[in-house]
Amino acid sequence: WPDRRTPLPLPQGLGVLCARSAPSALRQPDADEQISVRFHAQGYFHLAGRAGGREIKKLWQELAIPPWQRERIPLIYYNQTLVCAPGLFVTREGAAVDDSGWQALWLNNACAGEQL
């Protein structure tokens, strides 16, 4: 996602990602971090505001996401680090620590209102 000021259309009619300012959401990426969107994750993740970590499969189960929908959910990465699933969770590595954060919105068709 090279420019968060521009909505990012997702493949296969999955909607669009939009960015807006939001304190205490996602931290701003560092200068050496690129934002990418993927549809698959594997491994063990620690969510912001939560003790311990979970395998991604267990997170999906806790969120009641059926297996056939899991690879249709956009996941935001900073370089190789998963930072969030819009509207579902933010990882500790992606959590904002001040008021300069931002939020990724996953919408059906178009972005409206406040943008970055």
Phi and psi dihedrals of 99, rounded to 5? -85, 10
Structure-token pair, residue 27: 């931290």
Q: Give tens-digit pLDDT for 66-75.
A: 999 999 999 9
Token look-up 């297996």 returns: 67
Q: Model confidence over 22-66: pLDDT tens digits?
A: 777 899 999 999 999 999 999 999 999 888 899 999 999 999 999
- Is the pTM for the entire model greater than 0.95? no
